[in-house]
A and B are shown apart, each in its own frame.
Chain A
Amino acid sequence: MRLLLLALAFAVSGCATTQPDAVLRGDPLDVMFLQMMLPHHQQGVEMVALARDRARNEELRMLAAAIEKTQATEADTMRNWLTSWGEPLTAPPDSHAGHGGMRQSDPQEVARLSALRGAEFDERLLNVMIAHQDDAVQMARWEVGSGANQEVKDLADRIEKSRTAQIGLMKKFLGTT
């Protein structure tokens, strides 16, 4: 019965389907959240990694390194869930989730950041990361509010809390850089 409903649901919604047998193991919303969060994490890691050689503010450099490492660990967890459910790590490019987490402007932003050094770099990275983590907070609240799997929701809850705290720190740094 549930299989039929799911098949019908996919047909009605017109979404690109994953393997039908895999759908039963991962809740579609949890899967979509993870498939959107993974590329988002990747972009964040790429941007904060630039701080190592470019940031002037020592505290920003320390925060950037901690973000890089913690997000890499979270990404491993997220990949493991998707893999264990038989789901692809990224949504098909033509699916709705495919244009959720990754923005066209992001690779260009990495290029713009790469060209800067010192105080100019710090200010731009802080503003971009505040925006980036603010997006993460939005996605995390969505999963916490509407997701299914408790472990995934717990991770989303920690993402919401830690990103909110990071934004608070970064807004403070903006005054000192």
Chain B
Amino acid sequence: MKTRNRLALASFTATTAVVVAFIVPTTPAIAHGTMSDPASRVYTCKNEGPETPKSDACKAAVAAGGTQAYYDWNEVSLLEAGGRHRQLIPDGKLCSAGRDKYRGLDLQRADWPAKRVSAGPLTVTYHASAPHSNSNFEFYITRDGWNPTQPLRWSDLVHLQTFNNQNPGTFTNWTLNLPQRSGRHVLYSIWQRVVGSNEAFYTCSDVDYGGGGTPPPSTTTTTPPPSTTTTTTPPPAGGTWAAGTTYSVGNRVTYGGVNYECQLAHTALAGWEPPNTPALWRRL
């Protein structure tokens, strides 16, 4: 379901609803926040310092995806989520919200710094640096028997509780009732804004019930991706423009029946079609 607040609200006939529809675009586009207790992975690594991570897990996360994610710790979000979390975020990428920027958070490790917990009530705290009214907060925990060295999938999550129509402040507390578990688990949260934005935030907080045996030694070596030597195939003279082809200055292509000449060496990409990129292509 694709929620478009503007359209949905505009279809209401009540004058108040129409007013709300016009408010929509003027409300803040980017809210900010994450779980501070139990600390989410992004909050942990941000607190360790993006340039000087201390734990092996944060070191590996920074090595895998760079430091920027931890400066922007409060934006593990999808601006146009609109409740479609399971459609938009693939299994194995739940902690990054499927975003390349935050890919370090998806590392499958048994040594992410974790808060010691036990079954029963647990007060959790959400740190919202830009609070926004009227939001729903959903909380989940991984199923019994979940393995932290395996990809985190949607089907691994067991729903704990949802708090609707919340008006979070800078620090907001809720009390969850944790089920019985042993060993390491992930407490997952979704903050879905309701009015004025489709934006949703996602958090992975590692918790440890103990009794899970000694965690296996961290064998997660950051395997560098295979070194692919990109062979730049010279384009056929006068061929049709094609994404993935590397063009040099002076190369000629046709696109949509029109001829173009390359102005700047580049590898062609979807979205960089000649009619839209006068910096790269001159129409002949």
Interface residues of A (CB under 8 A from B): 5-6, 8-10, 12-13, 15, 27-29, 32-33, 36, 59, 62-63, 65-66, 69-70, 72-73, 96-97, 99-100, 103, 105, 109, 123-124, 126-128, 130-132, 134-135, 138-139, 141-142, 144-146, 148, 157-167, 169, 171-172, 174-176
Cβ-defined partner of B22 (8 Å) among A5, A36, A62, A146? A5
Q: Are B243 and A165 in contact (CB under 8 A)?
A: yes
How many residue pairs, one in A and one in B, have C-beta atoms under 8 Å apart? 175
* A-contacting residues, B210-259, CB 8 Å: 224-230, 232, 243, 246
Q: Are A132 and B25 in contact (CB under 8 A)?
A: no
Given contacts A13-B23, A146-B4, contact A176 B101 (CB under 8 A): no
Give the 3 A-B residue pairs with the shortest CB-CB distance, closest first. A127-B66, A162-B271, A161-B271
Decide if B119 is an interface residue (CB 8 Å cutoff). no
- Binary contact readout B273-284 vs A (1 if CB under 8 angstroms, 0 otherwise): 100111110000
Q: Which residues of B contact A130 (CB under 8 A)?
A: 65-66, 100-101
22 residue pairs bridging A and B, Cβ less than 8 Å apart: A5-B22, A8-B22, A32-B29, A62-B267, A65-B266, A70-B280, A97-B29, A99-B130, A123-B66, A127-B68, A130-B101, A131-B100, A142-B198, A145-B198, A146-B24, A158-B273, A162-B269, A165-B243, A165-B272, A171-B100, A172-B225, A175-B228
Cβ-defined partner of B270 (8 Å) among A70, A128, A162? A162
Q: Which residues of B contact A159 (CB under 8 A)?
A: 271
Interface residues of B (CB under 8 A from A): 2, 4-6, 18-19, 22-30, 65-69, 71-72, 75, 77-80, 82, 99-101, 130, 198, 224-230, 232, 243, 246, 264-267, 269-273, 276-280
Cβ-defined partner of A176 (8 Å) among B18, B71, B228, B271? B228
Q: Which residue of A lies closest to B279 (CB)?
A: A69
Chain A interface SS verdict (over half): helix
Q: Which residues of B contact A32 (CB under 8 A)?
A: 25-26, 29
CA gap between A165 and B277 in the complex, in Å: 15
Q: Are B25 and A28 in contact (CB under 8 A)?
A: yes
Q: Which residues of A contact B243 (CB under 8 A)?
A: 165
In this complex, the member of B2, B23, B264, B266 whose beta carbon has the largest number of chain A beta carbons within 10 angstroms is B23
Q: Which residues of B contact A134 (CB under 8 A)?
A: 99-101
Q: Which residues of A contact B230 (CB under 8 A)?
A: 59, 172, 176
Q: Which residue of A lies closest to B2 (CB)?
A: A145
CA gap between A131 and B65 in the complex, in Å: 9
CA gap between A140 and B172 in the complex, in Å: 30
Q: Are B23 and A131 in contact (CB under 8 A)?
A: no
Q: Are B26 and A15 in contact (CB under 8 A)?
A: yes
